[in-house]
Amino acid sequence: AQSVTQPDIHITVSEGASLELRCNYSYGATPYLFWYVQSPGQGLQLLLKYFSGDTLVQGIKGFEAEFKRSQSSFNLRKPSVHWSDAAEYFCAVVFNTNAGKSTFGDGTTLTVKP
């Protein structure tokens, strides 16, 4: 079955440290890949997306993600975390564009220590 896994439920990093959030998917072909961020009580905001081409994609707020086909991964990174980055992060995958549905991971909660 097609699935999306975010292995880390909760991550804590110090302000200024680097960040990597993991996302893996199970699917034979290359899907469309997305990262969203959600602040408490708010909707989801799109950070970045990958459809094809350059496997390193840049997003908003200084985030980037790298698609690795061999590992079926799409990890989100940021070189230096700010306190305002504390939020929940969701990886999402579109496996079948005809169906128009996205599959979401369970999310990773990021805490930023001062």
CA dist 20 and 57 (Å) reads 14
Which of 108, 105, 76 lies closest to 4 in space, CA to CA?
105
Q: Can you tell me which residue has the tokens 């408490």?
A: 40
3 state SS of 21: strand
Beta bridge partners of 66: 56, 75
Q: Does residue 107 touch another protein according to CB under 8 A?
A: yes
The window from 15-23, 42-50, 59-67, 78-86 that contacts another protein (CB under 8 A) reads: 42-50
Our measurement of the distance from residue 75's CA atom to the centroid of its chain's CA atoms, rounded to an integer in Å, reads: 6
Q: Does residue 97 touch another protein according to CB under 8 A?
A: yes
CB 10 within 8 A of CB 101: no
The window from 19-27, 59-67, 69-77, 86-94 that contacts another protein (CB under 8 A) reads: 86-94
Could you tell me how many residues of this chain bind another protein (CB under 8 A)?
A: 23
Shortest spacing between CB 49 and another protein, in angstroms:
6
For residue 47, the one-letter residue type is: L
Q: Does residue 43 touch another protein according to CB under 8 A?
A: yes
Q: Does residue 51 touch another protein according to CB under 8 A?
A: yes
- Residues in touch with another protein (CB under 8 A): 9, 32, 34, 36, 41-46, 49, 51, 90, 92, 94, 97, 100-102, 104-107
